[in-house]
Every structure is written in structure tokens, then in C-alpha cells.
Chains A and B, each alone.
Chain A
């Protein structure tokens, strides 16, 4: 049995405390009037001095690089013809041109910022638990022999599903009650002037949105509850009695069918609908790839941590090698989907589609391309060698980069639609990440300490012990 040490507990409390402080500052510093918002932006530009101006200047010379893309389209979404980047360079002169419309838009973006930061972090850690649950169900349904010794680690990670789901659901209900303006289609005023969203109202309306979210979350949590119960019951079963194992196999297969449909719909609802004009048919897969690669990475990191503390003595290099292979494989899979989505939209250059990538390339250049290096190039090169996949510190190093890279990936999915070009990694972003990291660690390690670390009753446990790559 693993014991959740006092020291680790304190670390998680500190993380949660620091996170709460960061989030509080983030929420308190959000502007409440148009004038405040404009003052904040003016300040930020004054403070940054030349640095910011240069950035925008290069953005503009870059603009020629995007000559291929239809430039004017990306502003249609925001309802004003000027280029954002240009606006801020000549802040003083342009205030009059735009009048209140722009100021109000800016206010909403800045008010959204702490909410969006909270949402990114809440979703990111929730998705680690959910991805682990899917990975676990795949191993169960495939009757895989190798991961039995890691089942308790995975079950520990999926324990975060319950608090994660509650937080996400409360957040979505608050959003539905207009506590923030993350989802533009929830705003009756906007919909009244938007024919495209009007056509989607049958699906994108608050009651149905919340009902769907409830169905997904209840379904996933139900599977998590049952599979954990059967898994623990199998430990205490008589020798030769594998009824619980068989039950787990059956519900896992059923869950996977439910999961792959609902996961796709979840990603449309919770992320893609932030840009209600835009759609991508492989978006569900794309989010799934992010989910799986982060989940496998976290499984590997926690396994290495537990091994370093002397637990999991039977987990050998071959198990870690297999996890690292999954990290490598899913990273490439993620890139494949990312590129498939990007290239088709870039090539066809249809205004309502390409605006999605234009905002990201113009306003989010560094995180957008930085994440390709972190999520693709780095794991590709460092995890390619077979020997490197067996080295703990290389897995840890690659793992940290992958986890942060996929946080930025989620950031890039959510921020452009909610805060536009007003992004920066500030109190709320760091606070949100720390808070949920602390909560995640607390829940996961507490769950791991509640059950024996070896699923000894599983009929395949011998196979896992003898597992040699």
C-alpha cells in the first residue's frame, strides 16, 4: 500500500493556495467598465514600451507572409474592419474611430480572461483523467496483459474525474447563467444579429447544452465507478473466480462505444462552439489525441515517481518502454491530426474557415508554433531511440515538455475565441494551472493510497510481471 506522505500533501496544499491567490488576483484585476479596460490596454502598451510595438510591427511584415490568406476576413468576426494589430500601435488616434463598440468588445475580452484561464486549466486536468479512463478502458477491452501492474496508477488518476466533472459542470452552469461571456452563442443579443448561429440554435441552446454535458459526465463517471469497484472486488475474489474481470471487460467495451461518441460531441460543445461559425470535422479526434498523449505521459510520470519511492517493485523497464512508445506514438498521431486540420483549411482558404487559423497565427504566433515544437519535434527526436525510451530522466524531461505543450494546445483552442488578442500568461493563467495541478495531485495520490498498488487478483497479473519487451 502506498502512503500519501505529509510532505506531498503540504506541497499540494501550497499549490492550491498559490493557485487560489493567483486566480483571485486575476478576477479582481479584471476591469468592470469600458474606461478601465481602455486604460489597462493603454498602460500595458506604455509599460511594454518598444517591445510591444516591435512585435506588432513584425506581425505586419509577417502579414505579407500570409498574403495567401484572405486577410480582411478575420476581422469580420469581430465586427470592425481595422486590423487589431494595427489598432494598438496607434492607440490614441483610433479610439475615436471605433467609439464604444470597440471599447465594449475590449471590456468583454478582459472580463473573460480570468474565466477563460480558469476554464483552460479546469478542462486540461479534467481531460488528463478522462484520457486515462479511455486508455484504461482500451487496455481492459483489449484484455491486454502488460498494463495490469499499472492499473492502480491509472485508477488513481481517473479518481480526479469526479471532482473534475463537478467543477466543469458548475462552470458550464455559471456560463449558462451569463456569469461570463465565453460562449457568444449564449448571448441572445448576438444571436439576434447572426444568421449563422440562428441556424444552429436547435443544437446550441443553453438547456440542451447543459443536458448533454450532464449525460456525458454521468456516463463517464458511472463507468469509472463500476470499473474501479470490479477491479477492487477482483483482488479479493477466490482463485479462479474471474467474474469481476469479465464484467470489467464487458462494461469497458460498452463504455468505449459511448465514450468515442460523447467525447467527440463534448469537444464540439465545450471547445469548438466557442467559435460558433467555425467547424472542423476531425475536431473530436484532435482533442482526443491531445487527451491520450497527456494521459499516457501523466501515467508514466506518476509511475516513475512511485518507483523512485520504492513502490511498484514489479514494474520494470519494459512497462516504461511501452508507455514511452505510446507517448511517442500519440505525439505523432496528434501532429497528424493537427496538420490534417491545418493544411486543408490553409489550402482551401475559405473565409469562414481560415479565420480560425489567421487569428491564431497573427495574435498567437509564439504559442501556436511553439506548441508544434513542444508537442511534435521534441518528443519525435528525443523519444525515437529505443534506449532513450527506457531512461527515466528522458521520459520525465520529455513528459514535462509534452504536458506543458498540451496545456498550450488547450490554451490555443480556448483563448483566441474568448479573449482575442488580449492574451498573456498572467496571474489567472498561472494561478489556474497551479490550483488544478495541486487539486489533481491531491485527489490522485489520495486515491492511489486507498488500494493495494498491485491488482493481484487479475488473471493476467502473471503475464504483466513476466512482461519483457
Chain B
């Protein structure tokens, strides 16, 4: 990891997206990009691997589905069968339509909550964590690209300026 980072600030998402493509093309390593909102196509332009969160969501959904079936079967059939609306109370299959809403809700509940928790863990976010954001304006209306400094410093800076950056500055890399 290089010891110095170049911070380039942009004020438009379209300019940023083109700048990211230019910088990638010139073979520089982009450490991170900070944006106030999700920019469409940015992950693709940065060359990030596609997310595996969708796969976990599917597995969590299946987990919720299984938990719901086990739960409702235990509650309504095994432990305390009840006669509701004259429906046969000793068979899971014959009562299935009545359980579908519960199974559906549990599937969604598990998929959604566990996916968000996974996302937090994977992004190393937890309550009271100090923000890692190098520039608070990126939560408002500015976009920041962090590029690892390697090779000719002036060439990189001129490339970034040409790509539409409104401000370019060099910082020590805290993590290095």
C-alpha cells in the first residue's frame, strides 16, 4: 500500500464516473470513492467484484422459510391443535393455505434483517463507530476519489484536474 493518497474532489456524479474510468484506464489504483448517494455503475467502473449479498439473502430466505414451517407446525399442529373455522387441526398440509402468510412473512423477515446485519458486519460498521470519512462534505454534495500515489506525482494530478476535479490534494495514508 502506498504511503500517500491523492484526494480528488468532484461536484457531479457524471463527471466522477467518467473520471473513475479515466483513472482506471491510466492504470492507477483507486483506494476508495466517497459519494453522498449511490452512483449507478460506479462499482462496475471501479472494477469491484459483484456483491455476494444476494446469495446470502437467498440462503437467509430459505432459513426463514424452514424456521417458519417448523415453528408453525409445532405451534398449531403438534403442541396445541385448535379447531379454527372447522379446518382439520391435525394435519399440516391440509391447513397449509392458512400458514402461507406466516411462512411468507418469516421468509421476508429473515432475509431482510439478516441481510442488513451481514452488510453491516461486512462493511465493519457497528454502533458508535467513528466515521472513516476523510471529508464530511461527501455526505452532502461532494464526491471524493482516493487514488494511491505511485509514479509521477504531477502526471496524476494533471490527469485528475483534467478529468474535472474541483480540488486535488495529497494526504498521508493513515492505514499504511
Contacts and interface: CB of A to CB of B under 8 A. Distances in A.
A166 B156 CA distance: 69
Contacts of A378: none
B41 interface: yes
B1 interface: no
A65 B91 CA distance: 10
Contacts, number: 28
A468 B40 contact: yes
B166 interface: no
Nearest to B58: A384
A68 B100 contact: no
A329 to B, nearest CB: 15
Interface in B91-135: 93-94, 97-98, 100-101
A423 interface: no
A349 B94 contact: no
A342 interface: yes
A68 B40 contact: no
A67 B41 contact: no
Given A386-B54, A468-B40, A343 B86 contact: no
A346 interface: yes
Please classify how large the interface on chain A is, using the bins under 10, 10 to 19, 20 to 34, 35 or more.
10 to 19
Interface in A344-369: 346-349
Contact of B100 (A65, A339, A385): A339
Interface in B143-159: none
B163 to A, nearest CB: 20
B100 to A, nearest CB: 7
Given A67-B88, A68-B87, A347 B97 contact: yes
Given A68-B86, A468-B40, A347 B98 contact: yes
A148 B39 CA distance: 23
Interface in A180-225: none
A385 B94 CA distance: 32
Contacts of A348: 85
A124 B85 CA distance: 37
A342 B41 CA distance: 42
Contacts of B87: 68, 347
Contacts of B94: 65, 67-68
A349 B40 CA distance: 50
B85 A347 contact: yes
Given A384-B58, A386-B54, A468-B40, A342 B88 contact: no
Interface in B35-63: 40-41, 54, 58
A225 B129 CA distance: 61
B13 to A, nearest CB: 14
A342 B101 CA distance: 12
A349 B86 CA distance: 9
Given A68-B87, A68-B88, A468-B41, A346 B97 contact: yes
A343 B85 contact: no
A384 B98 CA distance: 26
B98 A343 contact: yes
Contact of B97 (A65, A67, A343, A385): A343
B27 to A, nearest CB: 24
Contacts of B100: 339, 343
A349 B97 contact: no
Q: Which of B86, B93, B100 has most A Cβ within 10 Å?
A: B86
Contacts of A65: 93-94
Contacts of A67: 88, 94
Contacts of B97: 339, 342-343, 346-347
27 contacts: A65-B93, A65-B94, A67-B88, A67-B94, A68-B86, A68-B87, A68-B88, A68-B94, A339-B97, A339-B100, A342-B97, A343-B97, A343-B98, A343-B100, A343-B101, A346-B97, A347-B85, A347-B87, A347-B97, A347-B98, A348-B85, A349-B85, A349-B86, A384-B58, A385-B54, A386-B54, A468-B41
Interface of B: 40-41, 54, 58, 85-88, 93-94, 97-98, 100-101
- Nearest 3 interchain pairs by C-beta: A343-B97, A68-B87, A346-B97
